[in-house]
Structure 1
Amino acid sequence: MSTADTELRDLRAAVAALGARAGGSGELWAEAGKLGYLGVNLPAEYGGGGGGITELAVVLEELSATGNPLVLMVVSPAICGTVLARFGTEEQKRTWLPGLASGALRMSFGITEPEAGSNSHRITTTARRDGGGWVLNGRKVFITGVDATDATMIVARTGEGGPCLFVVDRDAPGFRRTPIPMEIRGGLRQFELVLEDVRLPANALVGDEDAGLRQLFAGLNPERIMTAAFALGLARYALGRAVDYARTREVWDRPIGAHQALAHPLAQAHIEIELARLMTERAARLYDDGDDAGAGEAANMAKYAAAEAAVRTVDQAVHTLGGNGLTQEFGLAALITAVRVARVAPVSREMILNYVSHHTLGLPKSY
């Protein structure tokens, strides 16, 4: 076993132990930041661990596998931290990265719009130059945790150019947020954002105005990898609860896990989880190695595989427990909607199939 593999194994064990003893999500976030887990992907010179998305995905997967997913990790250190580390100015890096790494600062990510959906080319939020700064106008929907973050990285268009990224302070005048009522339970809420003549200084622009699309996807590939890690962790959690129940629940003088009608679907779930984990690890390695094109394909496939495995695993886990699977005591019913999110966000499985059919197989576009 290589040194890198040993370090990843040790990281998994340490994070799993933290998740097992964790209190509330706020306490867990603070403790994970204190131990350096939230910033394992960020540069060491700015307070991070000097690793990559490989290590950060391990952290989220292991926390999720204990039933304690820190969903904001997908956005704050993975998307925003990565973009700032790769393309931010020295001032932006010094301002944000140490806090993102420690968990003292948090950042949301605003891309989705009511009319654009998954089509980033149809973003209508605009940014125009005004004197020495910028003015932003537009709307965003399904933006996670805006009330719990210090700023939001907003995707906007400048004239006829491609998308650009701006850091908008949560209290900026003209920047309004409205909670969206959701059936999903969890510590973070979803918001609709309205930006009405939001004035920003020149240094709010992240990176190069002419390289916005490349910078955008530098954050979106980690988002897909981290979503896969989130889904895999919850799938492992659900499978563990179901296996424990199947071993101990006795009907007709034997454990129900002795019956192939229950044992085989659980075994199949385990196989699908492990296959999706391999693709997630591959995607993370490609990204950390600087292969953005290869990582794009692998990240999409990892997210697809992990989401499908998670949905099927949770469904089987609930079915294994029968009525108990729908009780709050066993904590599985809430996962039905939680893992479903991974099928539709940050990109739907149908758009991933479009990506693979067009980019990988060379088939013509249907849209």
Structure 2
Amino acid sequence: MSNNFSETEERQELRKAVRKLAGKYGREWFTEKARSGEKTTELWLEVGKNGYLGINIPEEYGGGGGGIGDIAAVCEELAAQGCPLLLMVVSPAICGTIITRYGTEEQKQRWLPGICDGTGTMAFAITEPDAGTNTHNISTTARRDGDEWVLNGRKIYISGVDEAENVLVVARAEDARTGKVKPVLFVVPTDADGFEAQPIPMEIVSPELQFTVFLDDVRLPADSVVGDEDGGLVQLFAGLNPERIMAASFSTGLARYALDRAVSYAKERTVFQGPIGGHQAVAHPLAQSHIEVEMARLMTQKAAALYDAGDDMGAGEAANMAKYAAAEASCDAVDRAVQAHGGNGITQEYGMAGLLVAARAGRIAPVSREMILNFVAMHSLGLPKSY
């Protein structure tokens, strides 16, 4: 009898292969790259070459023909080896999913192979300084000019623009028939005239930078629009459930890495009699985090299974819950791992403290815990909308 609570043998083998690949690089290599301002391109391209980067994209475009659960497993195992690749959330999972679902045949042929092999990474730009999570307040505009579109506006906290060939930008266009504005998705080359990106200094230890993006009369051909320009929010949200599932996997991967390090340390470090892991004050918090992380992983698995089965409603609820649970579990796990290390937990040598900001970001991005609680209160519990 099949058991829905354990992953398929194929998925387990995939995890093992990714672990092995990422293990060749490891946390020290990753941190060194981040601190010296270098990139993790070598790892990114090797992940792509092995077919893991586009594992969720159809085979005819260079992908693996798998589901969101497969790419989430890759993302988690990379993070669990100390090499969290944030652009995996963005390029194959958000952009890859939206283009696969809504792109024309020509657009799929043009952009998906590069997303799969890592040579044509695509960033995603939705957040704005004055809109935050409120997609209805987006002020980046797109207006028609003959056969072209002209984009103007500003985006903030856009990951990895310097490593991307293109950015999938969410803009607002006016509907000629109704006069109402609607969201439209555009693929914008990062070398386009009028496109400018400035790095935002962050406290996070990561080779992947955050940017403010300025769009100043950026001219685009008509075939830059992905999907139906009247498709609206449905097309946009097609990438957001995968984003939440990936963010959850990113968080649980980080948590697993921190716990592994803390457990190893607690087995070896001796104070008073025997290793510190023999004391309940050290052992219990780590055990508690292990339980919380495993629960979050199970919810992430459920969200991915629902999404891959085409149940968008069920996946929306589960993806939000998974993302919430994973961020909470990760913050607590990293904090407890730092505590288990004592003073060593805040040294560069042991590399624990740098994980605090990375884990904490999961409570804020890509959607804040408060907005998830709003979603669950309203959609799961049927309470009145509060915002």
TM-score interval w.r.t. the shorter chain? over 0.9
Identical columns (%)? 63
Distance 2:379 2:273 in 1: 55
Alignment CA distance shift 1:7-1:207 (3 Å): same
Tell me, yes or no, if structure 1 residue 277 matches structure 2 residue 280.
Answer: no
Match status 1:53 vs 2:91: no
Residues 70-92 of structure 1 deviation map (CA, whole Å, 9 limit, x = unaligned): 11000000100110000001111
Within the candidate set 286, 291, 294, 2:306 is matched to 286
* Deviation for aligned residue 1:4: 6.8
Q: Is the 8 A contact 1:57 1:226 kept in 2?
A: yes
Contact 1:161 1:210 in 2 (8 A): no
Task: Find 1:178's aligned residue among 176, 191, 198.
Answer: 198
Q: Which residue of 2 aligns with 1:244?
A: 264
Report the Cα distance in structure 2 between the residues aligned to 1:292 and 1:198, rounded to whole angstroms.
Answer: 34
Q: Pick from 18, 21, 44: which aligns with 1:18?
A: 21
Distance 1:179 1:57 in 2: 27
- Tell me how far apart the structure 2 counterparts of residues 106 and 6 of structure 1 sit (CA, whole Å): 30
- Alignment match, 1:73: 88
In the other structure, the counterpart of 1:360 is: 380
Q: Take 1:170 and 1:359, find their aligned partners in 2: how far apart are those partners? A: 38
CA contact (8 A) 1:63 1:233 kept: yes
User: 5+ unaligned residues in a row in structure 2: which ranges?
Assistant: 31-39, 175-179
Does residue 312 in structure 1 map to residue 332 in structure 2?
Answer: yes
Give me the TM-score of the superposition, normalised by structure 1.
Answer: 0.98
Q: State the Cα distance separating 1:210 from its structure 2 match.
A: 1.2
SS in 2 for 1:335: helix
Partner of 1:108: 123
Q: Deviations over 1:141-189 (max 9, x none)?
A: 0101111100100000111232110000001111111111111121111
Matches for 1:294-309 after TM superposition, within 5 Å: 294-309=314-329
308-317 vs 14-23, which moves further: 14-23
Partner SS for 2:232: helix
Question: How many Å apart are 1:212 and its aligned residue?
Answer: 2.2
Counterpart Cα distance in 1 of 2:355 and 2:182: 37
Give, in whole Å, the separation in 2 of the partners of 1:9 and 1:225. 18
Deviations along 1:5-41, one digit per CA (max 9) or x if unpaired, are 0000100111111111126522111110000000100
Residue 33 (1) aligns with residue 48 (2): yes
The 5-angstrom pairing of residues 198-217 of structure 1 reads 198-217=218-237
Q: Which residue identity does 1:132 align to in structure 2? A: D
More deviation in 315-324 or 189-198? 189-198
Paired residues in the alignment total 367
Question: Which amino acid in the other structure matches residue 86 of structure 1?
Answer: R
Residue 6 of structure 1 corresponds to 9
> Tell me, what secondary structure is at the counterpart of 1:36?
coil
Equivalent position of 2:148 in the other structure: 133
Deviation (angstroms), 1:294: 1.0
Contact (CA 8 Å) 1:57, 1:225: kept in 2 or not?
A: yes
The residue number in structure 2 matching 1:261 is: 281
The answer for the alignment partner of 2:207 in structure 1 is 187
Deviates more, 1:110-119 or 1:156-165: 156-165
Q: Which moved more, 1:177-186 or 1:140-149?
A: 177-186
Provide the residue aligned with 1:232 in structure 2: 252
How far apart, CA to CA, are the structure 1 residues paired with 2:348 and 2:49? 31
Report the equivalent of 1:222: 242
Q: Alpha-carbon deviation of 1:253? A: 2.2
Where does structure 1 lack aligned partners over 5 or more consecutive residues?
Answer: none
User: Which residue does 1:120 correspond to in 2?
Assistant: 135
Distance 1:16 1:145 in 2: 23
Contact kept, 8 Å, 1:126 with 1:158, in 2: the verdict is yes
1:150 aligns with 2:165: yes
Q: In 2, distance between residues paired with 1:189 and 1:46?
A: 28
Cα distance in structure 2, aligned partners of 1:237 and 1:15: 14
Quick check: 1:348 aligned with 2:351?
no
Equivalent residue number for residue 64 of structure 1: 79
8 Å CA contact 1:177–1:193 kept in 2: the answer is yes
Matched AA of 2:20: A
Moved more, 245-254 or 9-18: 245-254
SS of the residue corresponding to residue 238 of structure 2 reads helix
Asked whether 1:197 is paired with 2:217, we answer yes
Tell me how far apart the structure 2 counterparts of residues 107 and 165 of structure 1 sit (CA, whole Å).
13
SS class of match (2:267): helix
Tell me the alpha carbon deviations over residues 239-290 of structure 1, each in whole angstroms, 9 at most, x when there is no partner: 0000111111111121111111111111000000000000001111111111
- SS across alignment from 2:237: helix
Measured in 2, the distance between the counterparts of 1:33 and 1:354 equals: 37
Partner of 2:345: 325
Tell me, yes or no, if the aligned pair for 1:153 and 1:167 is still in contact at 8 Å.
Answer: yes
Structure 1 stretches (4+) deviating beyond 4 angstroms?
A: 1-4
Contact 1:224/1:346 (8 A) holds in 2: yes
Residue type of the partner of 2:44? Answer: W
Greater shift, 19-28 or 256-265, is seen at 19-28
Who is 2:35 aligned against? none
The answer to whether the 8 A contact 1:128-1:135 is kept is yes
Q: Aligned partners of 1:194 and 1:63: how far apart in 2?
A: 32
SS at match of 2:350: coil
